[in-house]
Amino acid sequence: MAGLEDLYREIILDHYRSPRNRGELPVPPAHKVEGFNPLCGDEVVLYLDVDPETDTVHDVKIAGQGCSISQASTSMMSAAVKGKPLSEVRQLIRAFKALMSIHESKLEGDGDDGSDLAAELAGVRLGDLEALQGVVKFPVRIKCATLAWNTLQQALDETAQTQA
Amino acid sequence: MSALDVATIKRDFPILKREVNGRRLVYLDSASSAQKPLVVLDAMDDAYRNHYANIHRGVYTIAEEATAAFEDARRKVARFINAPRTDEIVFTRNATESINLVAYSWARANLHAGDAIVLSHMEHHANVVPWQILAAERGVELRWIPMTPDFRLDLTNLDALLDGARLLAISAMSNVLGTINDIRPLADAAHAHGALVLVDACQFVPHVATDVQQWDADFIAFSSHKILGPTGIGALWARLELLEAMPPFLGGGEMIRDVRLDGFTTNDVPWKFEAGTPAIVEAVGFGAAIDYISALGMDAVRAHELLVTRYALDSLRDRFGDSLTIYGPTDVDRRGGAVSFLFDGIHAHDISQVLDEDAVCVRAGHHCAKPLMRQLGVPATTRASFYVYNDEADVDALMEALAKAQKFFAV
Ligand SMILES: Cc1ncc(COP(=O)(O)O)c(C=O)c1O
């Protein structure tokens, strides 16, 4: 039986109580995306400023409201991607979803891709984010943890479109 | 002293014997769906084992028994809400389908662009979205009765809202606030303006003696699963003249009298609205649930819930004071047993998660009432709701678990 301490690790409560990178960025140059979890009303607002010269996350700010898991995950995500090249950010998204037991490539029925993904992700360092692993034992809360990352994905896609 | 012998009642519910995380189950989510007494489970088991066949078709013994049991359930439902006639009860899947039946059948036959429907800010999505779909399709106007700061309908402009309206569709008891809306004066006002009245009685019927004739409503919707009965069945009550004039909702078997290549004629009311094989055994369970709660007595049920709700409101206030905000009337005589609150800045999901450790089941979220949550200015609340099997000890368990959550998330 999974206990509360599996879900609410100290580092998660710390990010929940003192979220990192809270605030806003001027739009543009930053890109603003809002993510909602319609089931529970969790809301994530993400300001992502990508430097087109270096293709790195120049700055990131977050706002919104929701449960401890969604807000801690958002805070941890912001800390993890700040200053990172976009290629690394994309890998991080995939690695995080894999941590949440979400294997999108497998859903597409591409047999080989699963092992490629494993190889690719073997090198990704999740650091503090691994504290969110306990969420997998509480299936209804997975959506809370992934909200920030889906919002980040959307911000990356939209940024790529505007820059293309 | 409670009007109910809760210790005995608890023993009637098999699920209340189980443990979660090594703790006695404390079920405080009956506003979402109620637990089932053994008599309901046994009645359904017996129906499947001994009397099961399709209804209204076979000429053999067990088919006749199944038909009789199904129609007997309809009589029980009719009597339970003091309907003048048994054939005014249409079996549906749930309250949601009952409301949709009215929206698709009566409203599409009778409402036109420019007609208005009056709703309120405290409606469940089931009594909002069917009308929004109709509004988008037909250009029908939706008007909203607002809420007072003490969580009641603000009837200041009721006459203006009802002016030119064709339907007032209103909840008798809010599933979030617990607010009981006094239906009779609303129905009188609506009728004075030539509007019909649909009552979403999904939360009311399980908890308070219901008399559709006293309400003088035109349509009433409710679900079996909130009245200790099975899922998959609900009821629409409507006045016979209305049902007779309404076009069918779904087409198929059972709802027809005759079918030719060039058309069909409809069956009598209520079967006209019951296309296809219905939830036969669920109807039997629904009837058994009504027998069970009727034997307790609806006045005793209400008296008991007043007692537990008052105890819960007092306990919450005494123990947690300003760190807790209750969304709903404080006057227990005009509210039901659904208590929604915001607690110490802790998100409802986190509270509910910590409470689950102690096997305390509460609801967290927007309770299918997002327009209301927007009015309240909160994304989610925690809701504890009480029924016949809950007592003060259950409220005490909630208090202890909340104290634990407060400690856990303390800044
Ligand atoms: C006030 C109210 N109306 C309608 C419904 C819908 O009931 P059902 O889901 O059984 O159709 C509910 C259920 O939560 C309710 O509380």
pLDDT of residue B411: 63
For helices B298-320 and B280-296, the axis angle rounded to 10 degrees is 80
B394/B86 Cα distance (integer angstroms): 38
Q: Which of B20, B340, B350 to mutate to test the interface with A (most CBs of A within 10 A)?
A: B350
- Whether A111 shows a pLDDT value over 60: the answer reads no
Question: Beta-strand (E) ranges in A6-100?
Answer: 31-37, 42-51, 56-65
CB-based contact, B392 to chain A, within 8 Å: no
pLDDT of residue A3: 80
Q: Which of A18, A40, A138 to mutate to test the interface with B (most CBs of B within 10 A)?
A: A40
pLDDT of residue A104: 54
- Please count the CA atoms within 13 angstroms of the CA of B174 that sit on its side-chain side: 30
Cβ-Cβ contacts under 8 Å for B332 (sequence gap 6 or more): B306, B309, B310, B313
Residues of A in contact with B369 (CB under 8 A): none
Band the pLDDT of B345: cuts 50, 70, 90: confident
The percent of residues in chain B predicted with pLDDT above 90, rounded, is 92
Each residue's pLDDT tens digit, B14-50: 999 999 989 999 999 999 999 999 999 999 999 999 9
Measure Cα distances from B50 to A85, A133, B44 in Å. Answer: 69, 50, 10
Interface of A with B in 93-112 (CB under 8 A): none
Cβ-Cβ contacts under 8 Å for B141 (sequence gap 6 or more): B114, B115, B116, B117, B135
Taking CA atoms only, the protein residue closest to ligand 1 atom 13 is: B32
Each residue's pLDDT tens digit, B262-275: 999 999 999 999 99
Nearest Cα of chain B lies from the Cα of A62 at a distance, in angstroms, of 18
Nearest Cα of chain B lies from the Cα of A136 at a distance, in angstroms, of 14
- Whether B319 shows a pLDDT value over 80: the answer reads yes
pLDDT of residue A106: 47
Residue tagged 């092992």 (tokens): A115
pLDDT of residue B158: 97
pLDDT of residue B138: 94
The amino acid present at B392, given as its one-letter code, is: E
Q: Sign of the CA dihedral B72, B76, B78, B84? A: positive
Each residue's pLDDT tens digit, A13-42: 888 889 999 999 988 889 999 998 877 778
**CATH top-level class of A4-163:** alpha beta
B29/B46 Cα distance (integer angstroms): 28
Q: What is the DSSP letter of B57?
A: S
Which position has the higher pLDDT, A130 or A45?
A45
Note the pTM of the prediction, 2 decimals. 0.91
Ligand 1 midpoint to CA B127 (Å): 9
Name the strand (E) or helix (H) holding A98: helix A86-99
CA neighbor of B235 nearest in space, from B108, B138, B95, B334? B95
CB-based contact, B239 to chain A, within 8 Å: no
Cβ-Cβ contacts under 8 Å for B363 (sequence gap 6 or more): B29, B31, B32, B352, B382, B383, B384, B385
Strand partners, A59: A49
CB contact under 8 A, A138 and B364: no
CB-based contact, B357 to chain A, within 8 Å: yes
Q: Tell me, what's the ipTM?
A: 0.80
Pocket test for ligand 1, best of B91, B96, B100 (most atoms within 8 A of CB): B96
Q: Which of A36, A39, A68 to mutate to test the interface with B (most CBs of B within 10 A)?
A: A68
Each residue's pLDDT tens digit, A71-82: 999 999 999 999
Residue tagged 């809270």 (tokens): A22
Nearest Cα of chain B lies from the Cα of A161 at a distance, in angstroms, of 32
Which position has the higher pLDDT, A2 or A84?
A84
Query: Mean pLDDT, to the nearest integer, of B73-90?
Result: 98
The percent of residues in chain B predicted with pLDDT above 70, rounded, is 100
Taking the mean position of all CA atoms in its chain, how far away is CA B135? 24
Q: What is the DSSP letter of B267?
A: P
B226/B175 Cα distance (integer angstroms): 11
Each residue's pLDDT tens digit, B349-387: 999 999 999 999 999 988 999 899 989 988 889 999 999
Q: Are strands B19-20 and B324-327 parallel, antiparallel or unpaired?
A: unpaired
CB contact under 8 A, A138 and B366: no
8 A C-beta contact, residue B292 and residue B318 = no
Name the strand (E) or helix (H) holding B379: none
Residue tagged 């969110």 (tokens): A132
B103/B306 Cα distance (integer angstroms): 34
CA neighbor of B106 nearest in space, from B134, B74, B145? B134
- Please count the CA atoms within 13 angstroms of the CA of B368 that sit on its side-chain side: 12
Q: What is the DSSP letter of B346?
A: B
The amino acid present at B199, given as its one-letter code, is: V
The percent of residues in chain A predicted with pLDDT above 70, rounded, is 84
For helices A142-163 and A68-81, the axis angle rounded to 10 degrees is 40
CB-based contact, A8 to chain B, within 8 Å: yes
Cβ-Cβ contacts under 8 Å for B188 (sequence gap 6 or more): B216
Measure Cα distances from A94 to A90, A152, B85 in Å. Answer: 6, 12, 62
Band the pLDDT of A109: cuts 50, 70, 90: very low
Q: Looking at the partner chain, which of A39, A41, A68 has a beta carbon nearest the beta carbon of B350?
A: A68
Strand partners, B153: B147
The domain locations on chain A are 4-163
- Whether B131 shows a pLDDT value over 80: the answer reads yes
Ligand 1 midpoint to CA B100 (Å): 12
Domains of chain B listed by start with CATH number: 6-32+297-408 (3.90.1150.10), 41-294 (3.40.640.10)
pLDDT of residue B409: 85
The amino acid present at A115, given as its one-letter code, is: S
Least confident of A20-34, A100-114, B151-165, B332-346: A100-114
Residues of B in contact with A17 (CB under 8 A): 411
CB-based contact, A2 to chain B, within 8 Å: no
- Whether A113 shows a pLDDT value over 90: the answer reads no
CB B385 near ligand 1, within 6 Å: no
Q: Which residue blocks in B139-211 are alpha helix, DSSP H?
A: 158-162, 183-192
Each residue's pLDDT tens digit, B107-127: 999 999 999 999 999 999 999
Nearest Cα of chain B lies from the Cα of A145 at a distance, in angstroms, of 13
- Residue B365: closest CA among chain A residues belongs to which residue? A40
Ligand 1 midpoint to CA B176 (Å): 11
Query: Mean pLDDT, to the nearest integer, of B308-319?
Result: 96
CA neighbor of A61 nearest in space, from A96, A13, A29? A29
- Residue B381: closest CA among chain A residues belongs to which residue? A40
Band the pLDDT of A155: cuts 50, 70, 90: very high
Each residue's pLDDT tens digit, B189-220: 999 999 999 999 999 999 999 999 999 999 99
